[in-house]
C-alpha cells in the first residue's frame, strides 16, 4: 500500500556539530522514500537553533520562509581573528590590542543598524563564478566576494566583559552573523570572531516548536505544520471557489472584484490566496498598474 504524501513545514532545533544537510538527512528517515524535503536557511556546523524544513508542495514556498526575519544569540570573542570568522577555523590571537570600552562597543554596533553592505565570509555558501566560496577557500584559492545589501533591525548587548561579548541580533534575509563579528572587530581595532551562535527565531518559528532529531517517525509526522505557515507574513485574501478556479487556470482577477482588496498594504507585491475551505490555493502577484491579481505560485487543489 502506497504511503500518503506529506506536505507542510517541520521545525528542527539543530544541534552543534551537524551541517544543515545532515539535519535534513536525519529528518528524511521519518518520511517515505521520495518525499521532497528542503531547508530554508543554512546554519553553520558550529551554530544551533531553529531550522525550518519544507516538505512536499511546501518546497515551492521556501523563499517566503527565507525572507522572514530572524533572531540570533551570538557569543563573540574579541582580541582574535579566524579564517572562517568563527571558532571552527584557525584562530589567531591579536597581540598588543587595547580592550575597547563598553561605550565604544555600543557606538560601533550602532553603525551596523539598518540596511548595510556586508561581505559574506570566505568560508560560506555564497557563490563565486558558480562555485561555493567554501570549496574555493578550502582549496587555498583567494576568495573575493562582492558586498551584499542586508538588513539589521536591532542589536542588543546582553553581556560584555572583555574579551567576551554576548549579543542578540534581529535581522533580515542573508545576514551573516560571522561577518558582523568580523566587521565589528575591525571597527574596534581588536579583531573578533563568533565563539557560539544560536538562531532563536525564524519568523513565527521558535525552538519550542521543534521536533527532536531523536523523535520517532509518528511523532515527527504528527508535528508537521500547515503549508500555509510558509506564507504567514504575506497579506491574506480569501476568495470564492470561482475566483480560485480562475487563478488556477492562469487568469487574472480585477482587484475591484476582490473583497477587502483595498486593505492590501500599499507596499505589498504578493498575497496569499485562500479558498473557501481555508486552504492555501496560491501566492498571487499584485499588479497595481493594471489593478489586477495575477497567478504566481498555484498549488494543487
Choose the catalytic residue: 44, 86, 183, 209. Answer: 44
**DSSP assignment of the chain:** -PPPP--EEEEEEEPTT--HHHHHHHHHTTS-TT--EEESS---TT-EEEEEEEEGGGGGGHHHHHTS-EEEEEEEEESEEETTSBTTS-EEEPSSPPPPPHHHHHHHHHTT-EEEEEPPPSSSS-EETTEEHHHHHHTT----PPPEEEEEEEEEEEEEETTEEEEEEEE-TT--HHHHHHHHHHHHTS-EEEEEEEEEEETTB-GGGPBPTTS-HHHHHHTPBPGGGGGTTS-EEE--HHHHHHHHTT--EEGGGSTTGGGS-TT--EEEEE-TTS-EEEEEEEETTTTEEEEEEEPP-
Annotation says 218 is catalytic = no
Annotated catalytic residues are 44
Amino acid at each position: 500500500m502506497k504511503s500518503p504524501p506529506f506536505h507542510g513545514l517541520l521545525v528542527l532545533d539543530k544541534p552543534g556539530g551537524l551541517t544543515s544537510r545532515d539535519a535534513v538527512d536525519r529528518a528524511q528517515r521519518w518520511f517515505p522514500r521520495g518525499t521532497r524535503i528542503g531547508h530554508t536557511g543554512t546554519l553553520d556546523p558550529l551554530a544551533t537553533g531553529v531550522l525550518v524544513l519544507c516538505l512536499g508542495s511546501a518546497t515551492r514556498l521556501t523563499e517566503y520562509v527565507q525572507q522572514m526575519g530572524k533572531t540570533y544569540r551570538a557569543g563573540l570573542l574579541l582580541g582574535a581573528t579566524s579564517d572562517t570568522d568563527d571558532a571552527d577555523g584557525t584562530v589567531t590571537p591579536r597581540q598588543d590590542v587595547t580592550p575597547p570600552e563598553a561605550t565604544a562597543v555600543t557606538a560601533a554596533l550602532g553603525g551596523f543598524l539598518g540596511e548595510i553592505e556586508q561581505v559574506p565570509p570566505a568560508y560560506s555558501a555564497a557563490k563565486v563564478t558558480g562555485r561555493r566560496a567554501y570549496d574555493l577557500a578550502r582549496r587555498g584559492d583567494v576568495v573575493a566576494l562582492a558586498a551584499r545589501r542586508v538588513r539589521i533591525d536591532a542589536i542588543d548587548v546582553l553581556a560584555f566583559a572583555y574579551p567576551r561579548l554576548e549579543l542578540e541580533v534581529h535581522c533580515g534575509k542573508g545576514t551573516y552573523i560571522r561577518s558582523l563579528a568580523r566587521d565589528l572587530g575591525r571597527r574596534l581595532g581588536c579583531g573578533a570572531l563568533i565563539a557560539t551562535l544560536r538562531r532563536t527565531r525564524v519568523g513565527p518559528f521558535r525552538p519550542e516548536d521543534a521536533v527532536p532529531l531523536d523523535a520517532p517517525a509518528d511523532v515527527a509526522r504528527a508535528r508537521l505544520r500547515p503549508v500555509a505557515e510558509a506564507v504567514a507574513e504575506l497579506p491574506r485574501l480569501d476568495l470564492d471557489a470561482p475566483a480560485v478556479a480562475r487563478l488556477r487556470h492562469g487568469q487574472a482577477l480585477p482587484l475591484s472584484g476582490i473583497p477587502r482588496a483595498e486593505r492590501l498594504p500599499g507596499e505589498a507585491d504578493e498575497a496569499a490566496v485562500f479558498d473557501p475551505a481555508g486552504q492555501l490555493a496560491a501566492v498571487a502577484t499584485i499588479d497595481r498598474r493594471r489593478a489586477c491579481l495575477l497567478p504566481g505560485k498555484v498549488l494543487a487543489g
